[in-house]
Structure 1
Amino acid sequence: MGKTVLITGASSGLGEAMARIFASLGYNLAICARRTERLEQLKSELMARYADIRIEYRVLDVADYEALFEVFDAFTTDFGHIDRVIVNAGVGESRRIGKGRFDTNRRTAEINFVSALAQCEAAMKIFRAQNTGHLVVISSMSAMRGLPKHMTTYGASKAGLAYLAEGIRADMLLEKLPIKVSTIYPGYIRTEINTNAKPLPFEVDADTGTQAIVAAIESGVAEACVPSLPWSIVGQAMKRLPLSVVNKMS
């Protein structure tokens, strides 16, 4: 049996696009999200195209932590082994601090960091038991620097996720365990979620962006800005430029 990848937030956007590419590469899929009909549709479409792989799906709201651990464990029982977990589920909505939108910002922080922490906990529990695995977290170029306006909480949550992954990676080095940890920093990628938003600098279409993400994941690299050009250069610039200049990039 081939390798199995578990992807959260797989019913739309980057999660769905990654599922399609991994299926084409021969991976078995363990996919989860909140929308049953989208998961069923994706499974049917991919099974018709790739008859040699196995696909299982489960409904999951990543804010339901008890259910999250149950779903991850159930997928492990289904397949007997999980080779890779991609912590992808997240939200992009946040608002300026102090403008009375705490509930919106709190939800973004909780989903993008606390729920991601739960996913990492569940994944690492599986990988430690197996003594192998590959944890992948989908951060954002917004994590490179504190950003203004509607990006503040979102960027901070993605920065927290990146540091969480680095800490887990450090643990694996200390414990000398054969478990990989990768942090992916996507740049601006146009998906159905942001299809009506104005064009952004260096933006790429969903296929180009997702192909770059999957290539970075497959390489097993510790960290990657994707697409590499121009985002690896932009990322270094964001860390060093004055905040007034970074503001103009957001």
Structure 2
Amino acid sequence: MHTQLCTYIIGKSIITGASAGIGEACAREFAKTGANLVLTARRIDRLNQLKTELQSHYPSATVHCVQLDVRDDASVAACVDALPESVRDVSVLINNAGMVVGLDRTEVVPASDVDRMIDTNIRGPLNLVRAILPGMRERQAGHIINVGSIAGIEAYAGGSVYCATKHALNAITQVLRHELMDTPIRVSEIKPGLVNTEFSTVRFGGDKARADKVYEGLTPLSAQDIAEIAAFIATRPPHVQIADLLVLATDQAAATKAHRRSAH
């Protein structure tokens, strides 16, 4: 994405889950637009490496890194309260942090996995909204971009908890749009299909070979594809609100339906 295509300056953005995948790609893409960034994740070493890279390529960029677990509402509130002046008035919130564990049948999903997915994928975005939205209301400006999933509109065997959390995020996004309709604050959701990131590796407990099979025989989306879309959404003129985007690989027709080519 070329910055000359932008029609609106992003300003100050907070991106959760920025240490890898879509969040990391969003950080790079938003830095291109001149945005000042707050990058959060649990892996602060990865964030600091990304900060060094971004500031090397974009010397005028302000990049503030925070080690943060979005599940912890007190830590989220403290993080926002402690933001330095250069990034304090957040213009864009990208709720990207999310995760999935396993493909277990509903009755055997471990309770600990249920808690992790619900706390990360539902409580996490809500914690950020509660911390960031009051300032946006006060300034009468801002944009919330939630990174959802095709699992937020479709369900599949082995995905009961994850699908439920992404359906919940879809509902939260719609509710926010209703609640903010009388303000200039915009609310968007991107629902990717198959994206080749470490997401699947995490899902399968670090089993990279099993994760790679998810994308075998097809060309999946990349994190960069989604990041470019996020930047496009954020740089529309103030009267344009791109509410909802389902983004699939060309080889994909539904959550569990994709065309896979023979290796021979």
**Range of TM-score over shorter length:** 0.7 to 0.9
Distance change in 2, residues 1:230/1:132 (3 Å): farther
Corresponding residue of 1:189: 195
Query: Does residue 1:31 correspond to 2:39, yes or no?
Result: yes
Query: Does residue 1:222 correspond to 2:226, yes or no?
Result: no
In structure 2, distance between residues paired with 1:72 and 1:158: 25
Pairwise CA distance, 1:75: 2.5
Corresponding residue of 2:176: 168
Query: For this pair of structures, how many residues does the alignment match?
Result: 234
Match of 1:129 among 98, 120, 138: 138
Distance change in 2, residues 1:117/1:107 (3 Å): same
- Correspondence 1:131-146 to 2 at 5 A: 131-146=140-155
Match of 1:86 among 87, 90, 94: 94
Matched-pair contact (CA < 8 Å) for 1:216–1:224: no
In structure 1, distance between residues paired with 2:165 and 2:27: 24
In structure 2, distance between residues paired with 1:90 and 1:205: 16
TM-score w.r.t. structure 1 length?
A: 0.84
Could you tell me which runs of 5 or more consecutive residues in structure 2 were left unpaired when the two chains were aligned.
1-8, 202-207, 259-264
1 or 2, which has the higher helix percentage?
1
Query: Does residue 1:18 correspond to 2:32, yes or no?
Result: no
TM-score w.r.t. structure 2 length?
A: 0.80
The range that moved more, 190-199 or 121-130, is 190-199
CA shift digits 1:135-178 (9 cap, x unpaired): 111110111122211x22111101101110110100111xx111
Distance change in 2, residues 1:229/1:218 (3 Å): farther
- Correspondence 1:1-250 to 2 at 5 A: 3-75=11-83, 77-94=85-102, 95-149=104-158, 151-173=159-181, 176-194=182-200, 196=208, 197=211, 198-200=213-215, 203-219=220-236, 220-227=241-248, 234=253
In structure 1, distance between residues paired with 2:256 and 2:222: 24
Identity of aligned residues (%): 29
Matched-pair contact (CA < 8 Å) for 2:62–2:86: no
Pairwise CA distance, 1:100: 5.0
Letter in structure 2 aligned against 1:179: I
In structure 2, distance between residues paired with 1:3 and 1:212: 17
Q: What do you get for the CA RMSD once the two structures are aligned?
A: 2.4
Aligned partner of residue 18 in structure 2, secondary structure? coil
Distance change in 2, residues 1:2/1:184 (3 Å): closer
Matched-pair contact (CA < 8 Å) for 1:123–1:135: no
Letter in structure 1 aligned against 2:106: I
In structure 2, distance between residues paired with 1:48 and 1:185: 32
